Amino acid sequence: MRISVIGCGYLGAVHAAGMAELGHDVIGVDVDPHRIASLAAGVAPFHEPGLSELLVRNRSRLRFSTKIGDASGCSVHFIAVGTPPGADGQSADVSFVEAAVSALLPVLTPGDLVVGKSTVPVGTADLLSSRLQPVGVELAWNPEFLREGHAISDTLRPDRLVYGVQPGGNAAAVLDAVYAPILKSGVPRLVLDRPTSELVKTAANAFLATKISFINAMADVADASGADVVALADALGLDARIGRRFLNAGLGFGGGCLPKDIRAFRARAEQLGVGDSLAFLDSVDRVNLSRRDRVVSLVQEVLGGDIRGRKVAVWGLAFKPDSDDVRDSPALEVAQRLHAAGAEVRGTDPAAIENARYKAPELTFDPNPVTAAHEADVIVVATEWAAYRALDPARLGMHTGRRIVIDSRNCLDRERWESAGWEYRGLGRGSSIARLALPTA
């Protein structure tokens, strides 16, 4: 099949390469000439494991362009442009999706299918559809659930495929043909109406965010009572009704999706007159943001209050490991706030330094976590990159000023660090104050 993908960011570039991997002829279109030049050269314009290899392997079936006209002749057009927060900072700005549809109109021919993949407020697809119907083009919504860092396997082996279609149309059959190899491997697919398909995505993100904030709220209770949130999560997770995944207490969620998506969902519910039903998402957001305050105050606590001139190594700047994405990154925000409070911050990250430098030029960066921690008073582990877990705390301690580590992702082997002489502080691992307040045996 001949397929176009409009918008070649974290979602669209991987989707374009994934569709070529399935055997289709694909053209990726983006307004950003740098992204397009990089993709056309077979080089991923952002850090996504395996993407460059996929681009190179499928070179013969994959082209990239800044001109929407190059999408003519395709029969299926995926829309994967951004839906950032609008001017109010809450509701989703769908103007990029609208612009992509407008730009597509002249290249469409009757019988084509337009497929939205961007995350949009419920009701958006039905509104857009009225612009495509007059030219004989159907619109389906096919929300994307990929996780950055695992985007390729999530695209080619998703948990499920969701189609939001108009009753009586042909979209489900066309999408079945697009995804035939994936469906053949047994991946479930659900054919829904368009509003339900839009809701599947926003509700899934709201649920995941709630689960994360739930365990982070438990971390506060654990800190106040001397309990251990990791042991708590392990025990809770064995309950088949709850499950262990997304129960890792820490610095909380960030990135280009979860934070903006729960705020947009909340705003959309207000517009629909059911705001009260989603009011709990305000608490989810608040608990999440308070993790950043908690880590900044932990640094102040372990350094005795005033952190001016103190050397702080921040390990990790991306919002999650295996990504270079620093959009709403809790790690980068903590680094910036420590710097603003007068600390000498040295940030490190295996992939995100370039993006972090662009957003936070005031910070000092070092790609090597060991030299970043040279003479440091404290190390803050802010993104749980596997490489940090592998470092030897005993050898590292020979380079640092003091042996204090704040493991804000609860990802290090606590015993290993403590037995190497480090003062270890996690989130929800029982604060020293709470422990002191407990009767000793």
By CB under 6 A, name the one of 103, 191, 192, 242 that touches ligand NAD: 103
Residue nearest to ligand NAD (CB): 9
- Of 140 and 296, nearer to ligand NAD (C-beta) is 140
Identify which range of 8-16, 224-232, 299-307, 378-386 contacts ligand NAD by CB under 6 A. Answer: 8-16
Residues 31-70, mask of contacts with ligand NAD (x by CB under 6 A): xx--x-----------------------------------
- Report the nearest approach of ligand NAD to the CB of residue 76 (Å): 16
- Joined together, the tokens standing for residue 122 give 């419920």
Query: How many helices (H) and strands (E) in the chain?
Result: 19, 14
- Report the nearest approach of ligand NAD to the CB of residue 101 (Å): 9
Question: Is-contact 356 349, C-beta < 8 A?
Answer: yes
- Joined together, the tokens standing for residue 114 give 């337009």
Count the residues in the chain. Answer: 441
- Residues serving a catalytic function are 257
**Alpha carbons 229 and 313: distance in angstroms, whole number:** 25
- Of 15 and 346, nearer to ligand NAD (C-beta) is 15
- Of 81 and 317, nearer to ligand NAD (C-beta) is 81
When asked if residue 254 is in the footprint of ligand NAD (CB under 6 A), the reply is: no
- Report the nearest approach of ligand NAD to the CB of residue 154 (Å): 9
Within a 13 Å sphere around the CA of 163, how many CA atoms are in the beta-carbon half?
25
- Of 184 and 245, nearer to ligand NAD (C-beta) is 245
By CB under 6 A, name the one of 27, 146, 326, 343 that touches ligand NAD: 146
When asked if residue 101 is in the footprint of ligand NAD (CB under 6 A), the reply is: no
When asked if residue 83 is in the footprint of ligand NAD (CB under 6 A), the reply is: yes
When asked if residue 247 is in the footprint of ligand NAD (CB under 6 A), the reply is: no
Between the alpha carbon of residue 250 and those of residues 74, 150, 305, 377, 426, the distances in Å are 45, 21, 22, 21, 8
By CB under 6 A, name the one of 5, 16, 29, 132 that touches ligand NAD: 29
By CB under 6 A, name the one of 49, 57, 75, 96 that touches ligand NAD: 96
Question: Is-contact 48 149, C-beta < 8 A?
Answer: yes
Backbone angles phi, psi at 12, to 5 degrees: -65, -40
- List strands edge to edge, sheet with 113-116: 62-65, 25-29, 2-6, 76-79, 113-116, 138-141, 161-165, 189-193
Identify which range of 7-15, 47-55, 171-179, 211-219 contacts ligand NAD by CB under 6 A. Answer: 7-15
Q: What is the DSSP letter of 66?
A: S
- Report the nearest approach of ligand NAD to the CB of residue 324 (Å): 11
- List strands edge to edge, sheet with 404-407: 364-365, 344-348, 311-315, 378-381, 404-407, 423-426
**Alpha carbons 210 and 259: distance in angstroms, whole number:** 11
Strand pairing report for 62-65 and 25-29: parallel
Residues in contact with ligand NAD, counted by CB under 6 A, come to a total of 27
Instruction: Enumerate binding residues for ligand NAD (CB under 6 A).
Output: 6-12, 29-32, 35, 80-83, 96, 99-100, 103, 118-119, 144, 146, 148, 256-257
